[in-house]
Each structure stands twice: as C-alpha cells, then as structure tokens.
Amino acid sequence: MVASVLELLNVFYKKGVEFLPVLDSTSGELRGILSRSHLTAVASDLDRAGAKFTSIPQELFETTDAGEAASFLSKQKQVHLILDDGTGEITREPASVLAMLGVQQRKKAAAAPKETLGGNDPTGDVKLWLSRILLSTIPFPLYAIDLKGKTLFYNGAFESGILSGYLNRSISKAEKMFLDLSREILANAAARGMTPDEMSGVLASGDSFRMANLQDGGKIVGYLFAFESQTVTSEQFTARIRAGAGFDSVMDRLEKSILLSLLSDADYNISRTASVMKTKRTTLQSRMKRLKIPLKARAHSSASGKAAKVSRTAASKKVNLKARKVTKAKHRTKKSNRSK
C-alpha cells in the first residue's frame, strides 16, 4: 500500500491518539513510534506532506521521545498500531507494546556509542525512560533513598498518600524516618536469617510496606519502599506473619481495612456504621481510636451533624418567630374590638 504523511495524520485523528506504534510488516517487531506533533510539523511542508512511500521513512521516528510516548501508551486501555507499509488495524494491550518498546530501547543503547548516551553508562537513556514509566503508572506509593538516607525518587501515590498525610509534606522527616527504618529492618533480617524478599514493615499510620535493595552494577546504592494496597488477600496477611510482622499487628491492619471500607460506605456516619456492624456506637468509636482511624473522617461526620443541628435550630427559631407574630396580631385584633 502506498501511504503519505497526510494519510498517517488521518489515522491519528481517527483514533484520537498522540502516539502511534509501528510494526515491521515482515518481522512483526516494533520499528518505532510516530508522534502526531512531529507529523503535523512535517505536514507544513506541502511537498513532504503529500509525498508517497511504500514504507514509513525512518526519519519520521527519530524525534519521538520514548519516555513521553511510553507514559501516554501506558494509560490507554488498548493501544492502536499500524504496519510500516501503512496498513493494518491492530490493537494490543499496553503491557505488550511497552515490552516491545523496552526491547527496542535496549537494542539502541547497546548499539549506540557510549559518549552519545552520557557518562560511562550505556544504558542511561533506557533507565531514564523506564523510571518515567515507573513513577507515572504504578498506583501504589513508592519511595527510595540512598545509603545515607537522601531521597532518590518517589511517585505521585507516595506524595498524595504518605507524604501529604502522615509526614505533613516533610521530605526531611521522611528521609530520617525511612533511614532509621531501613537500618532497623536490615538488623532484624540479619538476626533472623531472612532473605531480602522477606524484608517488610508497618508505619505507625498502619501503612505496610516491603523494602528492597536498589543495586547498580552489583552494588547496593539504596533502598526502595513499596507500600501495599488497602485490599489484601489472606495469603498476603499470612506471608506478613511469617515474615515477622506479628499476628496482632497484622490482624489490626485487617480490622482497620474493614472498618475504613464500612465507614466509607456510610459516609463516615458512626451510628449508621455501628448499626451495619451490629455493635454499639461507643464500641465502634473505641475501635476507631485504637486503630488510629484518621480524625478527618470523624470530623467529616461531626461537621455534618453540627450542620444538621444548626439547620434544625434555625428552622425551630423561624417557626417560633412566626407563632409569636400570629399571637401578637390576635392580641391587637381583640384590643381593637374591645375599644369599639
């Protein structure tokens, strides 16, 4: 099939995408990723825009930023692709396309001269775009420090969930706390003869995490803390107990997860939640205090109750005022009649 830049742009607009992966029509491997913004710029040259080709020129791929493209593709439910001869209506899972992109980037890094990638690390560019994907797409909080406790990176989920809540947006507080945690966990692991995969812990806030070594060239350069989802299977709870987290702390974590879910369903209404649980309101409040359920949740319910009380008080005053006015009017009428 004979195609052109204008025809490729038409595919972009039909699919409503910013990036379009292209497969080699012979091998099925990823040839590259086209960028709509770049093709739009090329199309401003009318001669190039209408020029026909049987296979997409390599130069059209060269300005696409792999990290930006990967970030976009990872957010799609299904990724649209075409063959390099301009044919094909292909869709694949994002993970499959990102895997092909990873293979392509590693090949480029291996083939390129070291000086073009910066420093003495031929995989520098690959690490950069992989880091971008990692930080932008993983939904669970991630935080990493070096051996001295200095922050290496963290993602949006850590910033919004852990840093903004429990740590009051203080990076210095996070660095000190996680450095102390890493030393404590490593000492505990050494004493118990545990493997790195079993290193885990729980913050005072109740958020549990696993700690892993960050390595570069076979040397440990830091530690990664990966926090777990609120939704945890029984197998995961069992694994935590075996890893030394302690039965009571694990059961508290489970109880807290259930309570948070029930409270959320009831819009944090204590009485309604207690009714669903078939327990007393005071018992529920005692559990919330013990498990350190966020005060803002109870504040939300309290604020709603106060607002309702104020509303009822205002309505009552309005009724009473109206009644007094009616009574005064009756008195005036009776007085007028007697005077007559």
The pLDDT tens digits of the residues spanning 242-301 come to 666 677 777 877 787 788 778 877 777 888 888 988 889 888 888 888 887 764 444 344
**Rounded-to-integer distance, Cα 82 and Cα 75, Å:** 19
Q: Cα–Cα–Cα angle for 221, 226, 230, nearest 5°?
A: 170
In this prediction, what percent of the chain has a pLDDT beyond 70?
Answer: 66
Tell the CATH topology of 246-333.
Arc Repressor Mutant, subunit A (1.10.10)
Q: 24 near 84, Cβ under 8 Å?
A: yes
Q: Which two tokens stand for residue 251?
A: 């059961």
Question: What's the whole-number mean pLDDT along residues 91-107?
Answer: 78
Inform me whether the pLDDT recorded for 307 exceeds 60. no
| E strands, 218-272, in order | 219-227
Mean pLDDT of the chain: 75
Backbone angles phi, psi at 136, to 5 degrees: -90, -20
**Rounded-to-integer distance, Cα 301 and Cα 281, Å:** 13
Does residue 182 or residue 133 have the better pLDDT?
182
- pLDDT value for 178: 92
The pLDDT tens digits of the residues spanning 201-218 come to 777 766 778 888 888 777
Name the residue ranges covered by the structural domains of the chain. Answer: 5-116, 138-244, 246-333
**Rounded-to-integer distance, Cα 142 and Cα 3, Å:** 44
Q: Which CATH architecture group holds 138-244?
A: 2-Layer Sandwich (3.30)
**Rounded-to-integer distance, Cα 232 and Cα 22, Å:** 39
Q: What is the pTM of this model?
A: 0.39
Question: What's the whole-number mean pLDDT along residues 108-116?
Answer: 57
**Rounded-to-integer distance, Cα 60 and Cα 48, Å:** 11
The pLDDT tens digits of the residues spanning 285-304 come to 888 888 877 644 443 444 44
Strand order in the sheet with 90-92: 30-35, 19-23, 79-83, 90-92
Q: 207 near 166, Cβ under 8 Å?
A: yes
